[in-house]
């Protein structure tokens, strides 16, 4: 008890954090992450600031899991600082809720050794911007897109200019859609799958969570990506695992199927649909008014060609539909 009392004595000298061994301090900074270093740890004292500028500390820049800062901090400015501090040796960049085509070009101008790129809910990064940046990342081995735009054309570009790509994740949130009615619609559902199949032959790991591909799209991937070791197609409900597909998938060591549990999925896996909307805000009058919904695109009225999302707000082909989406 006496020892405890002595240790809590307010007259005990304060610890001098600047005297920590450099290797111990470096380990601490690696653990706390890029944002914490930029917003606090690097400002503790001169010794900490000097170490916080060491390029080795910025080899992997993880700026995810900080949604609480999205509207209060200039995340893109911090990302540019992190890129500058890396001194051209940054191998991984992970962003969430921020980013732009200009930021990707900024990274591409300062490093050509990027191996891992994760973009989570980065709505302001366009297909064109991502495709142009990918051309500058020939060593890219991992690309992950969650809740963002990604077209067949980007699949083609990435597959062609990133020959070392081994891990690809393209995830969204499943939504209710009216059943496919013709071959043109089915071709649209499989655009991304065909882009992957035709251009990413060296893939070892593929995750297409909540994708709209069909059996044909999955078959194309299985036929053209012979090195797949893991495949995750959870909530890809347009896929029906028949005997042919199961036989094709038998070689894959780690297989997750459309109806498998999502308990270990790190993002929201709720299934969107008509029930996801407040009835006072949106209603549809018939089955032909099929509504496409996910957490980030919000809604697309298929037959009436109405598109709405958080950032574009509205593009209404027919002004008569205005009251449907904006009744207030």
231 pairs with which residues across the strands?
Answer: 206, 255
Predicted confidence (pLDDT) per residue in 174-232, tens digit: 665 545 445 555 567 899 999 999 999 999 999 999 999 999 999 999 999 999 999 99
Looking at the predicted structure, is the pLDDT value of residue 328 above 50? no
Of 188, 144, 140, 190, the residue nearest 160 (C-alpha): 140
Confidence band of 134 (pLDDT split at 50, 70, 90): very high
Confidence band of 322 (pLDDT split at 50, 70, 90): very low
Q: Quick one: average pLDDT of 52-69?
A: 88
Looking at the predicted structure, is the pLDDT value of residue 28 above 70? no
Confidence band of 323 (pLDDT split at 50, 70, 90): very low
Is the separation of the CB atoms in 63 and 82 below 8 Å?
A: yes
Can you tell me the distance from the alpha carbon of 319 to that of 328, in angstroms, rounded to the nearest whole number?
15
Query: Could you say which DSSP state residue 213 is in?
Result: -
Can you tell me the distance from the alpha carbon of 18 to that of 48, in angstroms, rounded to the nearest whole number?
7
Q: pLDDT at position 151, please?
A: 84
Of 229, 321, 256, 238, the residue nearest 284 (C-alpha): 321
Predicted confidence (pLDDT) per residue in 135-147, tens digit: 999 999 999 999 8
Confidence band of 159 (pLDDT split at 50, 70, 90): very high
Dihedrals phi, psi of 283, to nearest 5 degrees: -140, 155
| Burial of 213 per CB tally in 10 Å (0-12, 13-18, 19+) | buried
Looking at the predicted structure, is the pLDDT value of residue 277 above 80? no
Confidence band of 13 (pLDDT split at 50, 70, 90): low
Which of 88-102, 143-157, 263-277, 292-306: highest mean pLDDT?
88-102
- Left if phi > 0, otherwise alpha if psi is -120 to 50, otherwise beta: which for 174? beta
Q: pLDDT at position 12, please?
A: 53
Mean pLDDT lowest for which of 27-41, 98-112, 303-317? 303-317
The chain-wide mean pLDDT, for the chain, equals 77
Q: pLDDT at position 26, please?
A: 66
Predicted confidence (pLDDT) per residue in 296-320, tens digit: 333 333 333 333 233 332 333 344 4
**36-40 LR contacts (CB < 8 Å, sep 24+):** 38/78, 38/81, 38/82, 39/73, 39/78
Of 39, 45, 54, the residue nearest 17 (C-alpha): 45
Predicted confidence (pLDDT) per residue in 112-132, tens digit: 999 999 999 999 999 999 999
Q: Quick one: average pLDDT of 317-325?
A: 37
Is the separation of the CB atoms in 143 and 182 below 8 Å?
A: no
Enumerate the H helices of the chain as residue ranges. 2-7, 22-32, 34-39, 46-52, 75-85, 101-110, 127-134, 152-161, 183-189, 191-199, 215-224, 243-249, 322-325
Is the separation of the CB atoms in 61 and 92 below 8 Å?
A: yes
Q: pLDDT at position 5, please?
A: 43
């Amino acid at each position: 008890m006496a020892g405890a009392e002595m240790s809590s004595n307010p007259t005990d000298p304060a610890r001098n954090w600047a005297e920590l061994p450099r290797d111990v301090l470096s380990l601490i900074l690696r653990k706390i992450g890029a944002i914490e270093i930029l917003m606090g740890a690097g400002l503790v004292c001169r010794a900490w600031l000097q170490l916080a500028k060491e390029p080795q500390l910025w080899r992997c820049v993880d700026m995810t899991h900080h949604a609480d800062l999205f509207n209060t901090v200039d995340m893109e400015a911090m990302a540019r600082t992190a890129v500058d501090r890396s001194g051209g040796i940054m191998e991984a960049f992970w962003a969430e809720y921020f980013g732009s085509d200009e930021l990707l070009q900024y990274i591409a101008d300062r490093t050509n050794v990027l191996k891992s790129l994760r973009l989570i809910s980065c709505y302001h990064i366009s297909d064109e911007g991502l495709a142009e940046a990918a051309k500058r990342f020939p060593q890219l081995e991992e690309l992950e897109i969650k809740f963002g735009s990604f077209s067949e054309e980007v699949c083609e570009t990435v597959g062609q200019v990133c020959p070392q790509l081994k891990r690809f994740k393209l995830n969204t949130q499943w939504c209710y859609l009216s059943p496919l009615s013709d071959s043109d619609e089915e071709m649209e559902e499989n655009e991304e799958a065909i882009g992957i199949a035709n251009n990413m032959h060296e893939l070892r790991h593929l995750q297409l969570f909540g994708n709209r591909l069909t059996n044909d799209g999955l078959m194309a991937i299985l036929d053209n990506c012979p090195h797949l070791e893991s495949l995750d197609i959870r909530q890809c409900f347009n896929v029906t695992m028949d005997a042919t597909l199961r036989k094709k998938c038998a070689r894959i060591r780690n297989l997750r199927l459309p109806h498998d549990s999502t308990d270990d999925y790190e993002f929201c896996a709720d299934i969107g649909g008509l029930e996801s909307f407040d009835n006072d805000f949106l209603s549809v009058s018939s089955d032909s008014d099929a509504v496409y919904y996910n957490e980030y695109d919000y809604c697309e009225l298929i037959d009436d060609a109405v598109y709405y999302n958080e950032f574009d707000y509205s593009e209404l082909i027919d002004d008569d539909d205005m009251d449907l989406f904006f009744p207030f």
